[in-house]
Amino acid sequence: MRKVKLLWGIIVLLGATCMVLIRMTMVQTTTPEVRPTDNGKDSSAIVAIVGDKKISLELLQEQVYQKYGTEMLGRMLDHLSIQLEADERKLQVEEAEISEELLRMQAGYENEEQFYQSMQEQVGMTRQELHEDVYFKLLVEKVATSDIVVGDNEISSYINENPDEFVRVREFHIQMILNETLEQANRTYELATEGADFATLAKERSLDTNTASGGGDLGWVEEHDPFLPVNMLEKAKEMKSGDISKPIETSEGYVVIKLVDQAQEEELAPDEIRDNVRKQLALQKAPPIKDYIISLREKWKAEIKDPSLKEGSVTPN
């Protein structure tokens, strides 16, 4: 599941950056003509000093406004357009839907706290910002597909034609120590089974530079992870949590693994599966979300009043 973490980090990076910069610009959505210096604070206040040079709050805000204002304003117009359309159609996203999506996104993380900590550290996204991002993602999908009909026969056909998508996947939390020779690996196995701390052994004996410093921890991986040796994963399937394997030959050398824990995805009820497929097929029939949001802006007559914030305008360095 390391791939899941990396992929999600990439997906939310742009959204997170936008969320952070929105806070910095402090543009008021109800009065878009107002410059960000109109925020109740003393714009002449000094926020930094370098030698005898001073940087005022006004200068900082003006620089942020010029550099990021176009992107931030565009995001705000998108959100407002989506919300207006949803209100007109009497559509809303329930808190339970947001919680379910957040839970889905946590796949591959040890727990909820690790997930939110990772989002904060990797992309600077707080719980509140992530909650808002998910809200608008779900809302625009709901609005874009509200008029699209997906028949029961279509759903049944998709399920029958794609059975692999609905198989419960096993996951393993594995620690690994890589040695060059079988003799070295046998010694590693001997030390580990005699009570030596596995993580410490990995730091001392493993040749895998990607995991050794972290105690050989691979994190959670799926049973068919394409980045790990097949025979290693097959061995993990035979083990119980806490077991340590004898040396396993791989193309890189010999590995000894410890199965820290294992889990299996919960089986969805038939109705849940059909609802998920219905949504997936509806999104396939809908116009691309980006194009749909542009159409919403046009419908709701979104207009940028400040010429310097219009797309394509030249921003001074």
What is the per-residue pLDDT for 258? Answer: 97
Residues 258 and 279 in one domain: no
Same domain (yes/no): 32, 96: yes
Is residue 314 a part of any domain in this protein? Answer: no
- 139 and 156: one domain? no
Q: Do 201 and 276 fall within a single domain? A: no
Residues 56-100: tens digit of each pLDDT? 999 998 998 888 899 889 999 999 999 999 999 999 999 999 999
For the chain, how many structural domains are there in total? 3
Same domain, 118 and 156: no
If asked whether residues 85 and 129 sit together in one domain, one would say: yes
Q: For residue 264, is pLDDT > 90?
A: no
Q: Are 64 and 189 found together in one domain?
A: no
Same domain, 48 and 158: no
Range(s) of the domain holding residue 187:
169-264
Which of these, 16, 38, 19, lies nearest to 119 by C-alpha position? 16
Query: Are 139 and 200 part of one and the same domain?
Result: no
pTM (predicted TM-score):
0.64
Assess whether pLDDT exceeds 60 at residue 152: yes
Gyration radius of the chain's alpha carbons: 26
Q: Which CATH number fits the domain that encloses residue 205?
A: 3.10.50.40
Cα–Cα distance for residue pair 184/191, rounded to 1 Å: 11
- Phi and psi angles of residue 285, each rounded to the nearest 5 degrees, phi first: -80, -25
Residue 66 counted as domain residue: yes
Same domain, 276 and 227: no
Mean pLDDT score across all residues of the chain: 85
Is 315 contained in some domain? no
Residue 125 sits in the same domain as residue 50: yes
Distant-in-sequence, close-in-space partners of 92: CB < 8 Å, separation ≥ 6: 86, 139
293 occurs within a structural domain? yes
Is residue 154 domain-shared with residue 236, that is, in the same domain? Answer: no
